[in-house]
Structure 1
Amino acid sequence: MTLSRPIAVLGAVTVLGLALTGCVAKSDVAAAGRLTVSSTADACTVSAGTASSGTLAFDVSNKGEEVTEFYLLAEDGVRIVGEVENVAPGAARTLTVVAQPGKYFTVCKPGMIGSGVGKAAFSVTGAKVAENGGDAAQKQKALTQYAAYVKDQVGQLIPAAKAFTDAYRNGDDAAAKTQFATVRSYYERIEPVAEQLGTLDPRLDFRELDAKAEGIDWTGFHRIEKDLWAPAAGAVNSDGTTPATQDWAPSTPAERAAFADKLLADLQELFDHVHSDAFVKDLEAKGIAGISNGAISLLDEVANGKITGEEDWWSGTDLSDFAANVEGSKMAFSVVREFAESKGAEGKKLVGQIDRGFSALEAELAVHGSLKDGFAPYSTVTETQKRDLTDLLNALAEPLSKLTSTILG
């Protein structure tokens, strides 16, 4: 199946553009703070690689043939400081941000999918500057940053899933197995968004026993996973009793094509949602509490499936899902941490506890591998190591569970 080309949601541009700039007006941008960006199919050329701190305006011109996006990324190359989307071919739009001293990256994303092109280092020098606009503007900035992160992850998920399902439908199981964990990581980082869309998450991510319990057709990632890692004679399902081969037969080529098409169609539904006005309105309705609750929800995902080894029962790639959930949780936390810190000594104390919790858990996960280079199969994790991971997960979950109440307090 060919995925539909992303549709430019022009209404969302206005909402997000205003949200990002807050009360920064173009007249506030000094001449030295204006930069030009030329986006093409394979390049993202910024007029300068450095600027002084303060209000910066990136005037983005799309000289390619596809709608494009421009991102200013934080030093980690993941967190989105600002973005402007839906820049049509031949059109120009402006990203205006208050940039603090530090290291950043710039990147363009033709077609609004994939990892982008022309990623380059960008630095801001000078002294820290005050950001005007008050609490409401800061909250809107947080919502906009998180929306941009979600769209970026889904944008990278779409082409990765296309390559994965092409390999699966063509019977290239070795290639599909290699790609499985990476494809899922994009989804696992932002899974709470899909969970808000009724049956979408069940269609994409239900395990076999979950589908049977709910009486629905079993589709999605885990249906394909069982084809790729077909159960051997004597294997059991994750309930420990049901024979894995009961009522089971490997999919025919036609069935594989149908499962692949279904996965891509459901992921396209997710893509369309996060690029819609409805997504922006939903984020604004939930506010920053919705983001902090998402951080908590992602750790719950780890506790309810990944730590037990039941999530990726056939592939044993649970640690990749585990790490992606943690990354997504940490990203959501990073967006709202300023609000927790603003609550005085108790808020700063809580932020410190959460920071240490993430660091300790990430260090323990690193013993087993990484999302970039791959993790060891979950079957190789000893019971002692599982207990260590569980203890660290619980140690992080305890202060993180207080994040929303602290922010709203």
Structure 2
Amino acid sequence: MRAARLSVLTAVTVVSALTAVTGCTEKSDAKSGDRVINVTATDSKCTTSAKQISAGHIELAIENKGSKVTEVYVLFPDDRVVTERENIGPGTKQRVTAEVKAGEYQIACKPGMKGDGIRQDLKVTGGKVAARDPRLDQAVAAYRSYAQEQADATLPLAKTFAAAVEAGDLEAAKKAYAPSRIGWERTEPVAESFGDIDPKVDVREDGLEEGQDPAKDWTGWHRLEKSLWQDKKITAADKTLAKQLITDLTDWQNRVGKAEITPTSMANGAKELLDEVATGKVTGEEERYSHTDLVDFKANVEGAQKSYELLKPVAKENDAALVTELDKQFAALDALLDKYRPNTSSYAFTSYDKVGKADRKELSDAVNALAEPLSKLAAAVAK
């Protein structure tokens, strides 16, 4: 879970006309053939170069001119995520490719990665959309099945964890905690695309929004993690939270099959999983009490690799050099992670508090080496 955000899954972009968040906005349609929307983010504004574009593949060309790290989203009217790019540092640029259908959307910049973001309307009109390669439709169908399988497999493991908490069995709950999160971590971008589920089950205390009270508003795995490892006790409130976790995960399980999934959202979701690793797992922030970060780390990488492998036949045809580099970097990162588990067929990893600074840097470098080419996968499948 990234620290406080709207949520995530796909990616989008658009074209020409200047828009200021706090003032009037020029009406402007994207020119025919122009598929890029320039998004300029500051600490108080979100300027977009187009208010309207036709359906199909589009690209957001994002520049952060503010002093805070920001995120940029494309959102459905109900706040489900169409596309997102996180951790855009001050003075940096990012590009994101995505696929959008006709409809009403909003582009949101989120300075400091907090709150609902500064928003601009975006209208996507109908138009002739190029036929999709049948192999990409097959990839989407296979990924949808994979996401559902992961959700279905998570529930029994989560129920084992919750049952141990409800029984007041501290050691059994600790043992069941990390396995209960694997399926979620593999497919987290799908869960985050719904917007409301992720903050209930996977938020960290520092990810709560301003005004939220940890005693009342903090729920999910990490709240229970703190009780088990830091407080070293299970309270009546924790038992109630364990029941709520199952309710929320069941909601996730029931909604997975309805998620908006496109080839570009799969590709961008893979990149998002690597971002999860870079901003939470490598730093040790995600599992700060249990130190089970490497379990999450491996699950994130597996989920990213699943999306990549499903998209690989088309990506290889469109950009063979990119595929060669991705194969190389995935293999290198997998081999590095295997150093931290004695049995490569299990998820028993070294406790992350035992991983030294130099080793953490090696892991970070390997993640960055994979993340850079992975950021180009969406563009490769959209060609």
With normalisation by structure 1, the TM-score equals: 0.58
Query: Which of 356, 378, 381 in structure 2 is aligned with 1:404?
Result: 378
Q: Which deviations, in whole Å up to 9, do the C-alpha atoms of 1:214-237 show, x marking residues without a partner?
A: 6261000001111111248xxxxx
Indicate the SS of the match to 1:308.
coil
Q: CA deviation at 1:137?
A: 2.1
Name which of 257, 263, 288 aligns with 2:239.
257
Cα distance between partner residues in 2 of 1:263 and 1:330:
27
- TM-score, length of structure 2 as denominator length: 0.62
Change (3 A) 1:299 1:264: same
How many corresponding residue pairs? 248
User: How far is the alpha carbon of 1:384 from its aligned partner?
Assistant: 0.8
Q: What's the counterpart of residue 288 of structure 2?
A: 313
Identify the residue that residue 272 of structure 1 maps to in structure 2: 254
Equivalent of residue 332 in structure 2, options 351, 357, 360: 360
* 377, 380, 390: which one aligns with 2:354: 380
Residues 341-380 of structure 1: CA distance to partner in whole angstroms, max 9, x if unpaired? 111xxx1111010011011011111111157141111111
2:182 is matched with which residue? Answer: 185
Q: State the partner residue of 2:227.
A: 227
| Pick aligned residue for 2:312 from 337, 340, 344 | 337
1:206 aligns to what?
A: 203
Aligned-residue Cα RMSD (Å) equals: 1.7
CA distance in 1 between partners of 2:209 and 2:311 (Å): 38
- The structural deviation recorded for 1:212 is 5.7
Alignment check: 8 A CA contact 1:342 1:348 kept: yes
The residue identity in structure 1 corresponding to 2:198 is D
State the alpha-carbon separation in 2 of the partners of residues 196 and 296 from structure 1: 14
Bigger radius of gyration, 1 or 2?
A: 1
CA distance in 1, matches of 2:151, 2:224: 20
Paired residue type of 2:205: E
Which residue in 2 is equivalent to 1:291? 266
Residues 356 and 382 (structure 1), Cα distance of their counterparts in 2 relative to 1, 3 Å cut:
same
Q: Does 1:166 align with 2:163?
A: yes
Quick one: which amino acid aligns to residue 346 of structure 2? K
Aligned residue for 1:348?
Answer: 320
- Deviation, 1:209, is 1.6
Letter in 1 for 2:238: R
Unaligned runs of 5+ in 1: 1-133, 233-249
Name the SS of the counterpart of 2:133 in structure 1.
Answer: helix
- Match of 1:376, SS? coil
Q: Is the 8 A contact 1:320 1:371 kept in 2?
A: no
Query: Which structure: greater helix fraction?
Result: 1
Which residue number corresponds to residue 368 of structure 2?
A: 394
Distance 2:365 2:255 in 1: 36
Measure the CA separation in 2 of the matches of 1:252 and 1:405. Answer: 49
Cα distance per residue 1:115-154 (max 9 Å; x no partner): xxxxxxxxxxxxxxxxxxx953212111100000000000
**Identical counterparts, % of pairs:** 38
* Deviation at residue 199 of structure 1 after TM alignment: 2.0
1:51-76 Cα distance to aligned partner (Å, 9 max, x none): xxxxxxxxxxxxxxxxxxxxxxxxxx
Comparing both chains, which one has the higher relative contact order based on Cα–Cα distances under 8 Å and sequence gaps of 6 or more? 2
d(CA) in 1 for partners of 2:340, 2:234: 32
Check conservation: 2:165, 2:234, Cα contact below 8 A.
Answer: no
